[in-house]
Structure 1
Amino acid sequence: MKTNLLSVALSFASIVAIAQKKEIKDAGKAVEKGNYSEAKSFLDQAKPMLSEAKDSYKADFYLFKGQAYLGTGENIALEDLMTASEAFKQAQEMGSAEAADGLAAVTNSLVQSAINDQNEQKFEEASKKLYAGYQINTKDTLYLYFAASNAINAKNYDTALDYYSQLKDLKYTGVETQYFAVNKETGEEEMMNKNQRDLMIKSGSYIKPEDRTTESRAGEIAKNIALIYIQEGKNDKAIEAMNDAKAANPGDLTLLQSEANIYYQMGDKAKYKEIMEDIVSKDAKNPTLYYNLGVTAYEMGDTQAAIDYYKKALELDPKMSEARLNIAAAILGKESSIVEEMNGLGMSKADTKKYDELAAERKQVYNDALPYLAQVIENDPENKEAIRTSMNIYYQLGENDKAEAMKARIAELEK
């Protein structure tokens, strides 16, 4: 009697196994046809007896589950993509050779969806998807970096701090070597991977190979950690974060620049200037440093120092339009005190004389600023700010023909 019962039990188990195998195969066929909902239904039917199945069937089950939840990879919910990711990982553990491709497809879908979210300014959603991409493969630290950046844009500072802290613990710098060469046919420089670049050079279709190392992101990460602390009113922690970063990356000028920015954000412009001058002494050929010093000097009320810094920036980079615009702005900034003094004068003979002297000073301010604006317009004919400022100056000087010419240029640009 017992033998008969065992025989019946074994027969039943065999029937269940056969049915389960069929459902898994049917799920695979449904995936091939793009019937993902149907595939999920077959997999749900097969799931209750999965623990009894052979590893090969389990591998197929999880592979098909990953494929069913991934679908086409377009407009797929984050939850479904994560379900697909976990399924592919389980399939990989069971020996599926196709699971790695599935994981790569999930990552691509997450990243592309995150890019779409960024373009639509859905920064929180983009951050979640990029972090999910990082979790699939923790070697892809670039996704963690961009997840943090999007969290900042979403003003989700606690999440951003968490992600940046992870990057800091990982000693992430983002430094990489990029490979360039010039296409002989187009004359354009192109970036490609090293093997491809080297092959193109050997073929003779590309010339002028060049390797470039990207700047470290350690300073930016430390700066953003510090800025979050400042946002939270924790200035001591902000300074501590910068000191830790400098200790870990001695000689990194981007960190010093970030430290200077932190003091600037805290309102300590004197400390900002001190650090910036220290950086300049270590990198005296960097025009951006002089430009930034000019900005700070102007905000601190030292107009002449600001102009001198901008001029130094222009010596190093004659095409820096921002520096010329700021020189013009600094010169024109003198006008307000002149006008204020003019408005305070009376009708006496002495006051009339003083008024004429001030009017001449005001005219000189305009004439001093115009050459810088003219150079900006020559280098950048579509710079509406420079054109509009020049137009206003010409009207003030009574040079209406020139003013109208500038007005016409603005109208043309705004068509």
Structure 2
Amino acid sequence: MRKKLLILSAFIISMTVFGQKDELKTAEKAVKSNDFVAALAAINQAEGLIANADQKTKAKFYYLKGKALYQNGSENSDILKVGEAFNQLIDYEKETNSQKYTNELSELLNKLITNVAEKASADYSKAIETKESADYLSAAKKFNQVYALSPRDTSFLDNAALVYYFGEDYETSKELYEKLLELNYTGITTIYVATNKEDGEEITFNDKKAMDLQVKLGIVENPREEAKDSRREFIFKNLAQNYSSLGDNTKALEVIARGRTEFPESYSLLIDEANIYYKLGDNAKFKEKLEEAITINPTDPTLYYNVGVMNMDQKNNAEAIKYFEKAIELKPDYGDAYNNIGAAIIEETKPIINEMNKSLSDFNKYDKLQEQQFEIYRKAIPYYEKAYELDGKSISIIQTLMGLYENLEMTEKLDAIRAVYDELKG
């Protein structure tokens, strides 16, 4: 009985081998006659039989699969599948130390890579001009195809992720950025640059050997190596922006936390974190992150201004004024900061006005309180006037000044600014 089973197993294996070879012969004939539909049908039939095939048969299968998918470079070919098939054959022959088909497919692959990369760059240049999402997405798709054709060129995956974001396909952009992190991609590379002697333009070379040859021939001068910085900080930043754009701010904060663990001094990631808290309505956290950002970048007036605004929201007006004054120190023409100092000063009148409303029958007390109110108005006026000087078309600033001039009976100034108001209102 055991002998019969062994004979039967051998018979099945023989039938499998014949099946493989028959399907591959059919595929080969179809490829030669450019009948790629028939070729792929035969390849699909052989696919399930190929696992236990010998080395020679496997290599031929991968070769024919690649050729059938390539379709002589037809526009209808699925470039992602072509790239996968070509690289599968090249990797297999490298692994088995055989080069029967590698040279042919490598040549086709390099031609395809160059062609798609050029189209991607052209589409991207067009997208920059048109700003149309469809043009960005066309470029992004092609950058992703280049990566599929040449997985070693990870920078094209980085390009695709970024351009998908520009095209507002946040889901695909997110997936590609996650893949870059999984691959531990850094983007750190060395580029070779020299100056063209004829026109003074900078030329970038793929390797030092090519640059040195041009120097030796006297075509270029001033050869140098330049290191590109790591892209990982920007990958965390862009990935978080994708999640935020998709409405998942919790995940965006998780990504930023990962990024800040790797780049603890990243001002850019910190500002993005602050903005997400602001989007979530968590003003306390927003203020906290801005204050932290000031320690990293103490010369940014916008940070001081925003912390001032948060202090105003929390009724810390004296503290708010300090931050607005610091913003003005760094940026003397910061009109909004002048305006907000005026507003913070006027906030001081609220308890006085409340007390005045309770003292309507006590004329002496009311008059004293009103004088305190007017004194505060006088203190606020110079800040509003400076804000008006910097932005003479702001209706809100003009209306505030009109109210202050009227209360303080500053008739001449009131008439002048009312004329401006009437002119702006048409």
Same fold (TM over 0.5): yes
**Paired residues for 1:186-201 under 5 Å:** 186-193=199-206, 194-201=208-215
Normalising by structure 1, report the TM-score: 0.57
Q: Which residue in the other structure is 2:411 paired with?
A: 352
Instruction: Give the aligned partner of residue 81 of structure 1.
Output: 79
Aligned to 2:70: 70
Question: What is the CA-CA distance between 1:258 and the residue it aligns to?
Answer: 2.0
1:142-291 equivalences in 2 (<5 Å) = 142-193=155-206, 194-231=208-245, 235-250=249-264, 253=265, 255-267=266-278, 270-280=287-297, 290=300
Matches within 5 A, 1:29-68: 29-30=32-33, 36=34, 38=35, 40-41=37-38, 44=41, 56=56, 59-60=59-60, 62-68=62-68
Name the residue aligned to 2:154: 141
Residue 375 of structure 1 corresponds to which residue in structure 2? Answer: none
Q: Secondary structure at the match of 1:239?
A: helix
Q: Which residue of 1 aligns with 2:106?
A: 100
Q: Note the aligned Cα RMSD (angstroms).
A: 5.0
CA contact (8 A) 1:117 1:125 kept: yes
TM-score by length of 2: 0.56
- Going from structure 1 to structure 2, the CA distance change for 1:331 and 1:109 (only over 3 Å counts) comes to farther
Give aligned-pair identity as a percent.
27
Bigger mean CA deviation after superposition, 342-351 or 201-210: 342-351
What are the ranges of 5 or more consecutive residues in structure 1 without an aligned counterpart? 1-12, 31-35, 282-288, 313-327, 363-394, 397-415
Instruction: Output the CA distance in 2 between the equivalents of 1:185 and 1:139.
Output: 34
CA distance in structure 2 between the aligned counterparts of 1:25 and 1:159, rounded to whole angstroms: 37
Question: What is the Cα deviation at residue 217 of structure 1?
Answer: 2.0
Q: CA deviation at 1:28?
A: 5.6
Contact 1:223 1:262 in 2 (8 A): no
**1:379 corresponding residue in structure 2:** none
**Greater Cα shift, 219-228 or 45-54:** 45-54
- Paired residues of 1:124 and 1:151 also in contact (CA < 8 A): yes
Check whether the contact 1:178–1:213 (CA below 8 A) recurs between aligned residues. Answer: yes
Deviations 1:222-241 (A, max 9, x none): 12333344446555543332
Residue-by-residue CA offset, 1:331-383 (whole Å, 9 max, x unaligned): 633652553246558999954322367699x9xxxxxxxxxxxxxxxxxxxxx
CA 1:114–1:73: 2 relative to 1, 3 Å? farther
String of CA shifts for 1:77-110, please: whole Å, max 9, x gaps. 5xx3244334434543364222333444454555
Cα distance change of structure 1 residues 353 and 218 upon mapping to structure 2, 3 Å threshold = same
Distance of 1:295 and 1:74 partners within structure 2? 58
- CA gap of 1:210–1:358, structure 2 versus 1, over 3 A, is farther
Give yes or no for contact 1:294–1:310 (8 Å, CA) kept in 2: no
Number of positions where the alignment pairs a residue of Structure 1 with one of Structure 2: 319
**Paired residues for 1:122-141 under 5 Å:** 122=134, 123=136, 127=140, 130-131=143-144, 133-141=146-154
Going from structure 1 to structure 2, the CA distance change for 1:263 and 1:28 (only over 3 Å counts) comes to: same
Matched letter for residue 101 of structure 1:
E
Q: Whole-Å Cα distance in 2 between the matches of residues 229 and 40 of structure 1?
A: 41
Find the aligned partners of 2:252 and 2:407 in 1 and give their Cα distance: 58
Distance 1:310 1:190, change over 3 A: farther
For 2:377, the equivalent position in structure 1 comes to none
Contact 1:294 1:309 survives alignment (8 Å) = no
SS at match of 1:175: coil
State the match for 2:391 in structure 1.
Answer: 333
Question: 1:175·1:213 contact (CA, 8 Å) conserved in 2?
Answer: yes
The C-alpha deviation readout for 1:40-87, integer Å capped at 9, x for no partner, is 54675688679699865664564344234324546335xx32443344
Please show how residues 388-403 of structure 1 align to structure 2 within 5 Å.
Answer: none
Shift of 1:303: 6.6
Question: What is the deviation of 1:263?
Answer: 0.6
Identify which range, 344-353 or 93-102, moves more after superposition: 344-353
**What secondary structure, in the 3-state scheme, does the structure 2 residue paired with 1:182 have?**
strand
SS of 1:179's partner is strand
Contact 1:85 1:136 in 2 (8 A): yes
**Aligned residue type for 1:274:** E
Which stretch shifts more, 154-163 or 189-198?
154-163
Distance apart, 1:182 and its partner CA:
1.9
Q: Considering only CA atoms, is the larger Rg found in Structure 1 or Structure 2?
A: 2
